[in-house]
Amino acid sequence: MTGLSGRRRVSKPTASRHEMDLPKSVLVGDGVIKELGEFLKNLGCRGTVHIISGPHVMLMAREVVEEALRNEGFAFRWSNIGSVEIEPSKVTGGCASEQDGIILGLGGGRTVDIAKIVAFSSGHPFISIPTSASHDGISSPFASIKGSGKPYSIVTRSPLGIIADIDIISNAPFRLLASGCGDLIGKVTAIKDWELARDDIGEYFGKYSASLARLSADIVIKGAEDIGRRKKESYRDVVEALISAGVAAGIAGTSRPCSGSEHLFAHALDVIGANKGLHGEKVGLGTILMAELHGVGWENIVKALECIGSPTRAKDIGLSDEDTVKAFVHAGEIRPDRYTILNKVKVDESKARSIARMTNVI
């Protein structure tokens, strides 16, 4: 990818050594976007603030963001990424040549990922300001990229700081929060896959990071009814769980605690059923299927997703039965280096269709 020649090289975590990459400061609360300038100053940030955002978010937050930055003497520049897929290097503008600067990702998951890559390729610190709680990338060192025929992830750096304004996030469409819940519930099977890789092929397994990721899933599963009732305090719970899950990946030095066979299924759908459903919605469906393969009780996962209002059937997000079955069969091919239940249990078309029907995904 252009502009990523300095891509971070990280050796695979082992039992003897691994690198932890964590945010330095996290600010969560109502109206905290107004403290942006002070937040940056406390982190020791200097130079121009390059704000990467989309047109809707710019319209909504521009005034308060600019006032907060001016109050602390920060110069700023906006980059509007629009709604099309953009090569992150094209957003960098002049910030790569500046000695001091801050890259601020203000928006949803795609915006945060692009800003994360721009910050890494330009060598500047990255500040994550999510405007929705749709997935755990808001705090992790991993960025998801679509290209070359299939989605893939790259290792960058965790945000230096995160500001999660609950007032802003709770005003986003509820479907985005429900998607974030699907992503969190996916940690149930991601951890099972990681345990399997430890037991079958001797892969490094981090007990603490796995427990933290699983806790993030349990918070959502146990609080599903309150989340479905859209209680504001539940928004904060989900946001903090998403941040914690991303931090778990930073602690582990790998996305293993957060991403397993359920994510491989979601990414297979990105290729086969392109532009249908949100990331966390597809992860939720994948978790149902992979839970059955693992034998961990898919019914409880369905119940939680239904309480929240997240899809439990492929047709709910416009996917055909055939595309769903095809994605199930080919999910293991998305990332051959990642050992999951799909390596241990071979899923052909007949088995995929049978499990998808039994779990009512199709």
Q: What is the mean pLDDT of residues 285-298?
A: 97
| Model confidence, pTM | 0.90
- Encoding tokens for residue 259? 């991403």
Query: Which pLDDT band holds residue 146 (cuts at 50, 70, 90)?
Result: low
Place of tokens 């999660």: 164
Rg for the chain, CA atoms, rounded? 20
User: Where does 25-170 sit in CATH, by number?
Assistant: 3.40.50.1970
pLDDT of 177 above 50:
yes
| Contact (CB, 8 A) for 168 and 131 | yes
CA distance 212 to 245: 7
pLDDT of 1 above 60:
no
pLDDT of 266 above 90:
yes
Sorted by sequence, the CB contacts under 8 Å of residue 229 that are 6+ apart come out as none
**The Cα angle at residue 80 between residues 74 and 84, in degrees rounded to 5:** 155
**Could you read off the pLDDT of 119-143 as tens digits, one per residue?**
998 899 999 999 999 988 899 888 8
CA atoms within a 13 Å half-sphere pointing along the CA-CB vector of 318: 8
Segments in the chain forming alpha helices (H): 36-42, 55-71, 109-122, 166-170, 174-185, 187-201, 207-222, 224-228, 232-252, 261-272, 279-294, 298-308, 321-330, 341-344, 349-358
| Contact (CB, 8 A) for 77 and 88 | no
Name the residue ranges covered by the structural domains of the chain: 25-170, 174-358
User: Domain 174-358 falls in which CATH fold?
Assistant: Dehydroquinate synthase-like, alpha domain (1.20.1090)
* CB contact burial 65-77 (16+ within 10 A = b; e otherwise): bbebbeebebebe
